[in-house]
Structures are given as structure tokens and as C-alpha cells.
Amino acid sequence: MDTTTIGHTPLEPCSYLSDRHQCNILIKKEYHNLNKTSKDRPAWHMIQQAIKSGKLKPGYTIVEASSGNTGIGIAQIAQQLGYPCCIFVTKDCAREKLALLRQLGAQIFICDNSNGIDDLLSSQFQAAHYAANNPSCFFTDQYNNPQNPLAHYLTTGPEIWDQSHGKVSHFFAGIGTGGTISGIGQYLKSKNNTIQICGIEPHGSILQYYKEHGSAPPKTSTMDKIDGIGRRFIPGTFAPNHIDNILQVSRQETISCAHDYYEATGTLLGFSSAAVLVGLEQYLQQDNPHPPQDMVLLFADYGDRYLNSLYPSLKEKQVQYDKL
């Protein structure tokens, strides 16, 4: 398999955001990966390590619980390497993602929610149960597999450091499994501990509380639906000690920010990328002891996978996509 199409994504300045916020803002464009998502990196690392360790043998079926993008990465790699795969998604998975999973030959199971292994109706429980009760299966388990954050520690973090010439002062990313921000945060902190690592999650997610208190909240509230980020359980791949701030944003603010960005730049942001912009606005409005200098925003995927849910007015129109 040609893995040169995974990683080595560009880090480019954004004049619109830089002018608006009066500091240097750069975008890590993860939609330049093979399947236009940052999730290609851990998908490849999880499968590669499983093959090397002998846990994934020829003829085995790869199983995963995913909001879509990790599943797409796994389905693409599985298809190219000759493995069947089963992807467990929630009932509100984006239609565009479901269509692509089917196109890649994945067997899809629709689950009620993504509330973690303790919920019998969740995609995580259903995937783990399927893998445990069917012979010749390997459960990649992105929420607990150390190859998830390690993929970003080994690749995305060094890319950002090198591409910014070591000048990065802040890094922003959405938090879903926690693998992306934990791996990148660990690497950047190892190079310069003063770099501020800022995570973004929806209102109602529990990771901000967990970072502040070291435990899950005694009770939970309704969580805003922002594709790809937010959790109602603590993933094993989430390492809050590598993160300085976690900011919570609303779905409506995220939608508004996505449309404003498209109007200004002609670029369709994915849901989590637009949420990062809302978090950036919040951060810059605070009285923060760490002044912004070179701020890196991770755009995890592109907006053409959310035309129905995020850009319905553009669905029937010819939209101008970012040049890949």
C-alpha cells in the first residue's frame, strides 16, 4: 500500500483569521490526507501495528466503532490490504460518510449512541461484543488503542514543529477520542513546554470536567451534536496532562462560524474544524497570560462530508472546494 498519501499535510497561513485576530494564524490542513481526514493517521498505525504483532492475520475482519472518519480510513486501508471490515456507527452518522463507507465495501452496523463500553446500545459496546463473539476478528478500538495518540506523536506533532520552524505558541484541535490532541500535545510540549495546547468540545461533553476534577461528573447534561468531537465517557486515549485548556462550544455557534468562514474564504470546514474557530474566538476574548504569537489550528476534515447537516443551502449548488 502506498502510504505517502497519509501525513505530510500542509501548514499554511490564513490571512483572513490573522487579520481578524491580529496575530499569526496557521492552518494544519489534515484534509490533504488520503481520505481527507486526520483519522487516516491512526487508522494506518493501528492496522500496521496489529499486523506486525500478529493480532491481525490474513483473512481476519477489522472491526471499529466510529463517528465516520476513522471508519472511512480503516475501510480504505482494509480494502487495499485485502481485509473485510465492519464499522459500527451511530444512527445520526452523516449521510455522506455512510455512502463512502458503503463505497469502500465496509459492512455497516447502526447503533443507538456513542456513549461508551458501559452502554449496551453504544457503538463501542456493540463493536467490542461483535469482535469478541466472532472468530477471526480484530477490534482496532480507537478509544483505547495507544497507536491512536502515538500516530500523532510520531507524525503530526513533528510536522507542525518543523513546518512552523519551532515558533508555534498555541495549538488548537477538537477532542473526540483525545488521540489527536494528546499525541500532538505531548510532542509539542516535549519541544517547548510553554506551548499552549487547547482542546475544543461541545457543551455537555465531560472531558473539560474530567481535566479539572480528575473524575467524570456525577451527572451529565444534554450534549450538543458536533460531529467527531465530544464524549460522555473518558477514552483511554485521552491524556489531559498534555492539554492546558478545554473550551466548550455550541452547535449553533459552530454552524454560524462555518458559514462565515465559507463566505470569507470559499473553504468548506468540517464540523470539528468550525468548532475550533469558535474555541479560538473564546480563547482570544479571555484575559490570558500567554499572548498569541503563532497559533496553529488543526482542521481535521473537509466540509463536503457535511453538506446535508452543515451546509444544506449549498447541497444543490456548485460549491467551490479548497484546492487539494
**Active centre residues (catalytic):** 39, 272
DSSP secondary structure, 260-273, as one string: HHHHHHS--B-HHH
Distance (Å, whole) CA 182 – CA 276? 16
Residue 292 near residue 246 (C-beta atoms within 8 A): no
Task: Cell 500535545: give the residue.
Answer: 185
Residue 321 near residue 50 (C-beta atoms within 8 A): no
Residue 205 near residue 235 (C-beta atoms within 8 A): no
Relative to beta strand 24-29, strand 61-65 is unpaired
Residue 52 cell numbers, joined: 506486525
DSSP secondary structure, 101-112, as one string: HHHTT-EEEEES
- Identity at 2, one-letter amino acid code: D
Distances (CA, A) of 143 to 66, 73, 128: 9, 15, 11
CA 190 from chain centre, in angstroms, equals: 22
Residue 298: CB partners within 8 Å, gap ≥ 6? 28, 30, 38, 156, 171, 172, 173, 174, 180, 184, 273, 276
Distance (Å, whole) CA 297 – CA 320? 22
The residues pairing with 37 across neighbouring beta strands, listed in sequence order, are: 301
DSSP 155: I
Task: Cell 482542546: give the residue.
Answer: 199
* Dihedral (Cα; 95, 98, 99, 101), 10-degree rounding: 160
The count of C-alpha atoms lying within 13 angstroms of the C-alpha of 267, restricted to the half-sphere facing its C-beta, is 20
